[in-house]
Chain A
């Protein structure tokens, strides 16, 4: 297939890429831009490891064409850090055991970032519901809920560092 020039805006920067029109966004990110934080965990849009935000909405980058994102703002896990430091949710995931092997973590964080923006004080059921499109095989999800709550508290306090779990 013939390649075409496509302009993608990723994490606030513009990139011009020559891509086949059938190139998936995930492949463009991973192979052409070396943004390997977004992962491929499945073949059939079932795992959520590839989640990125397109204009602020979490999307499965394995199931969209790169070309369809032209003119939109794509945010990947690499764009989540704040001023070179961990964002509250990233710190909290580490502190509370929300990430074990970490393979699912970028996808979850992109989903959670959206949840907390849309609903800064979610109930337990809302958190569960929001995470249900992402799969994790390590954590059993419980510690992610703790991390999310800690991140909310940290954000509210305006400190970038979530308190560590107390015993």
Chain B
């Protein structure tokens, strides 16, 4: 069954040419006649009541068509059904610097910008909360009135008997780890174009058409319907090319709804594209996380118990927060065999932009803490760090103590391959002063087994239509965001139907045309939309087979579909081999070659027909036969995770279960400059169990991209806050690594062939990220003997750790920085938005107190 003709071969993505020629259209590249430009007025205060908004001066400006405010669409929404706490435009209160207050729709950007300055807003400034531990003490001036102590949600889980587990341990480690806040910073800033069609019957504005940079058209359609009070059937969401998501476009971002509100008010199409700075304020990234972790092991290295108390600084709105905090606990399981787990998770509200889902959702920061602590325990019991991981493997297939079903489990092979390729056994501890190796593992879900919208609907549905021309059109709601979703779909359809890739057309992510799919996040597309595609293709294939079998005078079971031919099985051996030569690698042939090939095959067929009884048919002939016989040729497939994979019944048990988990093991080689604290990553060996690599180039690209993003979080990337002001809202100041700062990554594909994945495939886009951070931390320990407890491992933190080892005083670079004039952080002198000057503050604002409270980003 390993003899595939389309999958498993490295191919260019089917939309690659559009991307390399500039012809492909992203949302901001689109325009429609009469289109206006929208710009958003943001709150300058972290927490304030809106007393009055006067838009009259702005409305009078020549070129301004409409100014929308909260009253224009007062319904609340949120990505989670339990978290409907947002207004597209603030109604009575703003909750972070950057919250959305009003939107101007004007003829051009310059006019819209000028109009923003003419909007008068009177605020009553309220005390604000920036640190989660402080925020939880709040009694008054709550961020949301229905959330006492600014606590969004807390969970307390106990599995097994942790106390007994710790009592059995020979060695226990306990420490606090802190992971800094990071954001997706996808290269494409969010963009939405909204336009109303005029209804022919009523003559009034009717259906809403929205083009948006979204990972989930269906969720956008749903939330637009909720906020605008328009039935979902009256809304069409189209996803053009998306310039990266990483979770940042997996929920509905305010501009997506604001554009529609503004279009409705302006009675004209409106496009809004965020500036890079606005993208940082819109955020929804990975929260700053405090992890108090305790782990016990026996002398032989086996883990007896784990206790984690996790606090996430969630920002001002719920967003995906409830899911994030649950993932942090749930995915303590399913990597190693841990018999006893205690988890206490707190998602706390603060007056900063909301955090949401980001690549490796919820699992990354806890994994950093866990893998670091495991490394420390290995050192204490004198065990090789790779070996301690080997001694805690699951005995898959199994169900973990917290109810996660694990089937395929490639972790042992990942560990083996990564230590082999990195030369771990020979090189570990022998690289000389200041240079070291570190190992860590991670895992991730192949899609959530339970959808965030509780219902029994399938998670993915795919339709296939084949017409007499032999062209195969696949309709899928899955969203291509650069990860290769469309290519994966085409490959699975082509492989199943035995036709060349060139026949497949993908129609994707358009709510009018494509069936519902819950989108591209939590690495669900290959597993779920892939399975749906496979099922749809199998259904169509059955119809073709039954018609072809009649023509050939055999049974459908006797037929083999391959390389654009339908061949009788016993003949398949010989004639197949012969035809294969002429049909050589159809996927890579240029268009002209393909057409030639078809004509060639057509004439070959013609000759055969003349010669006598059919032992094979071309794909076109078989398709025509099937349409003649059945009338139409369409098929539908859907996928819903099986009941056994849906997890435990405990409160919050719905998050974490997945039909399959990917596994990753990595070794990082770093050097540390003890004089400056600077860490250089030289190379990362990353083995990833993706079930089966449907397109190895894409799988390797996803592994490298994940490792790279993990390295960014490990070394440089961090949102630095000072009293609710973001100090670094630009790509350089946020320090997204460039080519010179990026290591070589050696991806190693491990294929465990999952029993339920399409052709055995699982996820490959997220699972590798989490291991990189602890692998680097552990390598730093190997290099210079300091254990990093706070990420990113910036020179100042590494230096502080080195100094602490020698009992010297740490240096804090944010000490004494005035957040309203943060010249030390931005070359431009602070936020562009305030022209280098921050806003005035409430008298009770922490930044105005004599001894300012330490905010996020300090240590």
Contacts and interface: CB of A to CB of B under 8 A. Distances in A.
A149 interface: no
A47 B731 contact: yes
A133 to B, nearest CB: 8
B482 A100 contact: yes
Chain A CB within 10 A, most for which of B21, B23, B246: B21
Contact of B187 (A77, A81, A138, A167): A138
Contacts of B176: none
B187 A38 contact: no
Interface string A85-107: 01000110111110111111110
A123 to B, nearest CB: 13
Given A43-B276, A97-B697, A140 B20 contact: no
A103 B185 CA distance: 12
Contacts of A119: none
A150 B197 CA distance: 48
B201 to A, nearest CB: 34
Contacts of A131: 738-739
Given A100-B705, A102-B243, A93 B828 contact: no
Interface stretch (B11-19, B391-399, B547-555): B11-19
A2 to B, nearest CB: 14
A55 B523 CA distance: 44
Interface stretch (B25-33, B146-154, B816-824): B25-33
Contact of A103 (B17, B26, B738, B744): B26
Given A76-B22, A128-B739, A41 B704 contact: no
A167 B10 contact: yes
Given A44-B276, A137-B244, A142-B704, A94 B13 contact: yes
B705 A38 contact: no
Interface in A124-159: 127-129, 131-144
B275 A101 contact: no
A: interface residue count bin: 35 or more
Interface string A60-80: 000000000000000011101
B782 interface: no
Contacts of B19: 93-94, 99, 101-102, 105
B705 A139 contact: yes
Contacts of B317: none
Contacts of A36: 22, 25-26, 28-29
A109 interface: yes
A72 B775 CA distance: 50
Interface string B367-379: 0000000000000
B13 A143 contact: no
A81 B23 CA distance: 11
B122 interface: no
Given A46-B731, A109-B20, A135-B187, A140 B707 contact: yes
Interface string B225-262: 00000000000000001111110000000000000000
Given A39-B243, A101-B186, A104-B187, A141 B832 contact: no
Given A47-B187, A128-B740, A86 B730 contact: no
A165 B275 contact: no
Contacts of A96: 697
Instruction: Classify the secondary structure of A's interface with B.
Output: loop
B738 to A, nearest CB: 4
Interface in B685-716: 696-698, 700-701, 704-705, 707-709
Contacts of B185: 137
Given A99-B16, A101-B241, A164-B10, A137 B709 contact: yes
A95 B244 contact: no
Nearest to B587: A164
A42 B731 contact: yes
B189 A41 contact: yes
A77 B20 CA distance: 8
A49 interface: yes
Contacts of B732: 44, 46
Given A43-B832, A46-B732, A97 B701 contact: yes
Contact of A135 (B25, B26, B277, B736): B736
A144 to B, nearest CB: 8
A101 B701 contact: no
A167 B21 contact: no
A135 B738 contact: yes
Contacts of A77: 21-22
Nearest to B11: A164
B276 A97 contact: no
A126 to B, nearest CB: 11
Given A106-B22, A139-B705, A39 B744 contact: no
A37 interface: yes
Nearest to B746: A142
Nearest to B13: A94
B244 A101 contact: yes
Contact of A137 (B28, B187, B744): B187
Chain B CB within 10 A, most for which of A30, A43, A165: A43
A76 B22 CA distance: 9
B481 interface: yes
Nearest to A47: B731
B696 A101 contact: no
A43 B730 contact: yes
A137 B480 CA distance: 16
A9 to B, nearest CB: 18
Given A44-B828, A164-B11, A103 B244 contact: yes
B588 interface: yes
A133 B346 CA distance: 40
B730 A37 contact: no
Contacts of B24: 102
A91 B17 CA distance: 7
Nearest to B18: A102
B776 to A, nearest CB: 14
B452 interface: no
Contacts of A106: 20, 22
Contacts of A41: 187-189, 243, 276, 731
B496 interface: no
Interface of B: 9-13, 15-26, 28-29, 184-189, 241-246, 273, 275-277, 481-484, 588, 590, 696-698, 700-701, 704-705, 707-709, 730-732, 736, 738-740, 742, 744-745, 828, 832
Kindly list the 9 A-B residue pairs having the minimum CB-CB distance in the complex, ordered from nearest. Answer: A37-B22, A102-B19, A101-B482, A140-B708, A103-B243, A94-B16, A77-B22, A36-B29, A94-B12
5 contacts: A97-B701, A102-B24, A128-B739, A140-B745, A143-B701
Given A94-B13, A166-B10, 14 more contacts: A36-B28, A39-B187, A40-B28, A44-B730, A44-B732, A46-B731, A94-B16, A103-B188, A104-B187, A134-B738, A139-B701, A140-B708, A140-B745, A142-B745
